[in-house]
Structure formats: structure tokens, C-alpha cells
């Protein structure tokens, strides 16, 4: 064979071998990238975790997902962020922490990434109120992975049996809890709520704080936990749990509280709207069809904000990530309507942020029993339900200590909150 012919054949063979590989790289430009993702334990996370193999098949991106309890995730994130470790590419947390994260430079705006990588992102599909909470100074910093409000859940069968009506005030809640415990000979707890110190007890007690006419921070930027309204709310919260709540309630987080109610061992609970999905799931609940849902009550007619929460948890791209484009692809994929709709068949998940998922036939089939009450609570949801300032984490921790002291009876509600008030003023003044 002549040399020129040999070279031509070699080039042709090389092209036939390399072209498919080049085509594959173009389809999966981030293939081989390994992402470290930190998320909290939640039905949404369960759904995403189960679907990650599909993401890897589509993109070639490997995802190492670490799941920790909500009560631990903020401290873990702050430790990694402040050390500059770059350990995580994508993180999840409550939007209340966005102002602090943005100011410290811990998370990146997503607008340019969204323009460059639009494959999975459909901003118009997000519930507007959820997406808008992620915008700071006109820039988008997070993609909402789940949203929720809070409502009061009560056993319709027990209320009918004992001649009770759905509570409208916290006095009604206490009276109903007393009746259920006494008339059931203490076989059924009157009410169960979260009592574990920190974000757990503060998240639920906050409904009582706002419902009594209190607030975390006054209009002049000072801590408002030293008010009479705050003391009355904590006194009522601690008393109803001590007198009519379950044994060990001081250690109850979201899961412990949810499971006790699902098992039919409590007459009422006040918690996140996502709990409705568990109540109505026959595979995990003994109270399917027996639960009524109403907005969180209020005690005062002079409220500074609603007593139902508006909580949004989002995915953020860490500023220290070395692979931000792949990180954004994961965040936008994980929050896309396709994954949210698929999640219904994986875990009880009513906290979807996609309008397509929320309005789907499958959602209505599974969660129709409480959808109306959930949407009503979201519509009335208080975006300042938990403080949304840079010192949010410290403020919540201080408040959590006060709630725990009042619940344990080691300090009066007034004294415990006075201590938290001073500590929060110091945090706000820094």
C-alpha cells in the first residue's frame, strides 16, 4: 500500500473511532463530574435520592448526597462555609438564612447559570410566592425544593364523640386537649407538638407567638421577645404540653410528633402542612380519613402577622464550589416538575413547589383531603414567621433555649424570654 493511501486510511479509521466519543461528550459535557450535595431529611429528599440514578444517566454527573436532620443542617453548613472547605457544591436550607448567606458570600446568584443552562429550569412553573422568597436585591439565589405552611390537625371522630368543635383560639385548643385526655382516661394525649430545643420547638411555638399578637423583631429592629404577648404565648404553649401532651415531648422533633399523631395516640397536633400527606397515607397511618384540618388559631384580634407559617426550603449553589455549572444542573433538575410529580409515588410529599405538580390529578387523588386547608394556610402564610435577618440562626437558638426552659419548668416564660431577648438584642446589634 502506498504511503499516501495508508495515511488516508488511518485518518478515516481514526475519525470513525473518535466521532461517536465526541458526540457523547457534547451530549454530556459534565460527564464524570462528582457533586457533593447536602440536604435535610424530608420526603422531598427521599424522592430526589431515589431519582438520582436518572440524573446521572442523563448527564453523566455523579451525585454524593448527604442527608442530615433539619435541626443539624444549618450548623453543619455554617462550619463548612466559614472554613472555606468547599466540601459541598449544592446545599439546602430554609430561605430565612438567605440574607446572611448572601452577605457573607457563601452562596452564588443563579441568574447567569440559569441563562446558560436552561434545560431543566421553568421559572414560570414554580409557585410564585415560593420562588420570590429566593430573590435578594433583584438576584435569584435559590430554587425552591419544597414549601409549606402550618395548620392544626384534629381527630374528627374524637371531636364528634366528645362534642367538640374545631378550635379557633388557643384557649379552644387547651380546652379541647383537656377534654380529650380526661374523657379518654389519659389513653389518648390531648395534643402533641414539637418540644425539642432549637428550630424544632421554635417553629411550632412561633405560631402561638404571632397568634397572641407577638413577634420576633419589632419595627425598630429590636428583639420583641420581652413583650407581654410573647410571655403569654409561651406560657400557654408550655402549659398545654405539660398538662395534656405526651410523655417525653421535650425531645419531640418533627418525626416523633408526626408518628405519634399518625398512630392515633393524640387528639390534635399543630405542625407543617406536609404532615397531612402522612396522615392520609394508609401504608403509615391509622387515622386515614379521620383528620380535620384548619388554619392555626389566633388568640388576639390585633395581630402583627399571621399565625400560619410560610416556609420555603431551597437548593443553593455554594460559592466555594469548583463545578458550579454541574451544581446548577442538579439543582434545576431536582426542582423540576417532572421530578416533583414522580416523587408522589416514592414518599408522602405534599410540599411540592411546582404548580404542575400541585394541580396534577395524582396530587388531588392523594392529598385532596387537606389540599383546601393547606392552600388557605399558605395564602395566609406569614413570611416573617421566623426571623429573616442575618442573625436568624442565633435568634432561633436563643428562643429555643427559652422555650425549653419554660417547657421544663426551670424558668417562667417571662424570665426565660427576658434572657433570650437580651441575647437577641446583642445579636441584632452586631
Task: For 76-130, write each residue's pLDDT tens digit.
Answer: 999 999 999 999 999 999 999 999 999 999 999 999 999 999 999 999 999 998 9
**Rounded Cα–Cα distance for residues 194 and 236 (Å):** 14
Decide which of 379 and 297 is more confident: 297
Local confidence band at 26 (pLDDT 50, 70, 90 cut-offs): confident
Burial of 162 (0-12, 13-18, 19+ CB in 10 A): middle
**Rounded Cα–Cα distance for residues 234 and 60 (Å):** 51
For 54-74, how does the pLDDT look when each residue is reduced to its tens digit (9 = 90+)?
999 999 999 999 999 999 999
State which H helix or E strand residue 187 sits in: none
Instruction: Flag the least confident range among 274-278, 290-294, 375-379.
Output: 375-379
**Residue among 428, 23, 420 nearest 198 (CA):** 420
**Rounded Cα–Cα distance for residues 254 and 275 (Å):** 9
CA torsion 332-335-341-343 (nearest 10°) is 120
Local confidence band at 19 (pLDDT 50, 70, 90 cut-offs): very low
φ, ψ of residue 300 in degrees (nearest 5): -110, 150
Grid cell in block for residue 23: 458526540
**Residue whose cell numbers read 462528582:** 34
Strand partners, 92: 315
pLDDT greater than 60 at residue 1: no
pLDDT greater than 70 at residue 11: no
Query: What mean pLDDT do residues 32-46 have?
Result: 97
Q: Residue 27: its pLDDT value, please?
A: 85
**Residue among 48, 71, 108 nearest 319 (CA):** 108
For 316-330, how does the pLDDT look when each residue is reduced to its tens digit (9 = 90+)?
999 999 999 999 999
Please state, rounded to an integer, the average pLDDT across all residues of the chain.
93
Query: What mean pLDDT do residues 2-11 have?
Result: 41
**Rounded Cα–Cα distance for residues 157 and 282 (Å):** 17
For 231-254, how does the pLDDT look when each residue is reduced to its tens digit (9 = 90+)?
999 999 999 999 999 999 999 999
Query: What mean pLDDT do residues 31-49 have?
Result: 97
**Rounded Cα–Cα distance for residues 106 and 124 (Å):** 27
Q: Residue 3: its pLDDT value, please?
A: 42
Q: What angle is formed at CA 51 by the lines to CA 46 and CA 57, rounded to 5 degrees? A: 155
Query: Would you mind telling me the total number of residues written for the chain in this entry?
Result: 430
For 166-176, how does the pLDDT look when each residue is reduced to its tens digit (9 = 90+)?
999 999 999 99
Query: What mean pLDDT do residues 333-355 have?
Result: 95
Q: Residue 7: its pLDDT value, please?
A: 39
Q: Residue 159: its pLDDT value, please?
A: 98
**Residue among 80, 107, 55, 105 nearest 315 (CA):** 107
Under 8 Å between Cβ of 316 and 141: yes
Q: Residue 4: its pLDDT value, please?
A: 44
Distances in Å between the alpha carbon of 302 and those of 149, 213, 215, 218? Answer: 21, 6, 12, 15
First to last CA, the chain: 82
Distances in Å between the alpha carbon of 213 and those of 151, 194, 240, 396? Answer: 18, 21, 19, 18
CA gyration radius for the chain? 25
180 alpha carbon, distance to own chain's centre: 30
State which H helix or E strand residue 297 sits in: none
Q: Residue 9: its pLDDT value, please?
A: 38
Grid cell in block for residue 253: 422533633
Q: What is the DSSP string of 219-250?
A: TTS-B-TTSHHHHHHHHHHHHHHHHHS-TTGG
Under 8 Å between Cβ of 39 and 146: no
Query: What mean pLDDT do residues 187-213 have?
Result: 98
Amino acid at each position: 500500500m502506498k504511503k499516501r493511501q495508508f495515511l488516508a486510511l488511518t485518518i478515516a479509521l481514526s475519525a470513525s473511532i473518535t466521532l461517536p466519543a465526541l458526540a457523547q461528550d457534547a451530549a454530556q459535557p459534565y460527564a464524570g463530574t462528582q457533586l457533593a450535595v447536602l440536604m435535610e431529611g424530608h420526603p422531598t429528599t427521599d424522592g430526589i435520592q431515589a431519582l438520582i440514578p436518572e440524573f446521572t444517566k442523563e448527564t453523566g454527573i455523579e451525585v454524593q448526597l448527604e442527608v442530615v436532620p433539619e435541626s443539624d443542617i444549618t450548623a453543619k453548613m455554617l462550619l463548612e462555609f466559614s472554613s472555606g472547605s468547599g466540601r459541598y457544591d449544592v446545599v439546602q436550607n430554609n430561605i430565612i438564612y438567605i440574607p446572611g448567606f448572601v452577605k457573607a458570600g457563601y452562596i452564588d446568584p443563579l441568574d447567569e447559570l440559569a441563562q446558560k443552562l436552561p434545560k431543566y429550569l421553568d421559572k414560570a412553573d414554580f409557585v410564585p410566592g415560593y420562588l420570590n422568597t429566593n430573590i435578594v436585591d433583584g438576584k435569584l439565589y435559590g430554587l425552591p425544593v419544597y414549601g409549606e405552611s402550618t395548620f392544626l390537625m384534629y381527630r374528627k371522630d374524637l371531636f364528634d364523640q366528645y362534642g367538640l368543635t374545631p378550635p379557633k383560639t388557643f384557649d379552644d385548643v387547651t380546652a379541647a386537649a383537656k377534654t380529650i385526655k380526661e374523657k379518654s382516661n389519659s389513653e389518648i394525649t390531648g395534643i402533641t407538638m414539637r418540644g425539642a430545643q432549637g428550630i424544632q420547638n421554635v417553629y411550632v411555638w412561633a405560631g402561638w407567638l404571632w397568634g397572641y399578637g407577638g413577634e420576633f423583631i419589632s419595627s425598630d429592629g429590636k428583639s420583641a421577645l420581652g413583650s407581654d404577648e410573647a410571655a403569654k404565648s409561651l406560657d400557654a404553649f408550655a402549659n398545654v404540653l405539660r398538662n395534656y401532651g405526651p410523655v417525653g415531648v421535650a425531645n419531640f422533633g418533627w418525626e416523633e410528633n408526626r408518628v405519634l399523631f399518625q398512630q392515633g395516640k393524640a387528639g390534635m397536633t399543630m405542625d407543617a402542612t406536609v404532615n397531612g400527606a402522612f396522615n392520609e397515607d394508609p401504608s403509615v397511618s391509622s387515622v386515614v380519613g379521620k383528620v380535620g384540618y384548619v388554619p392555626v388559631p389566633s388568640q388576639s384580634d390585633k395581630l402583627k402577622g399571621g399565625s400560619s407559617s410560610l416556609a420555603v426550603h431551597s437548593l443553593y449553589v455554594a460559592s466555594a464550589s469548583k463545578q458550579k455549572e454541574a451544581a446548577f444542573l442538579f439543582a434545576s433538575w431536582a426542582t423540576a416538575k417532572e421530578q416533583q410529580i414522580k416523587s408522589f409515588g416514592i414518599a408522602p410529599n405534599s410540599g411540592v413547589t411546582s404548580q404542575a405538580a400541585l394541580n396534577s390529578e395524582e396530587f388531588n387523588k392523594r392529598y385532596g383531603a387537606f389540599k383546601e386547608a393547606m392552600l388557605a394556610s399558605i395564602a395566609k402564610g406569614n413570611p416573617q414567621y421566623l426571623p429573616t435577618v442575618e442573625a436568624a440562626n442565633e435568634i432561633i437558638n436563643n428562643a429555643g433555649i427559652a422555650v425549653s426552659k419554660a417547657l421544663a419548668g426551670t424558668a417562667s416564660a417571662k424570665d426565660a424570654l427576658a434572657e433570650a431577648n437580651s441575647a437577641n438584642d446583642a445579636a441584632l446589634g452586631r
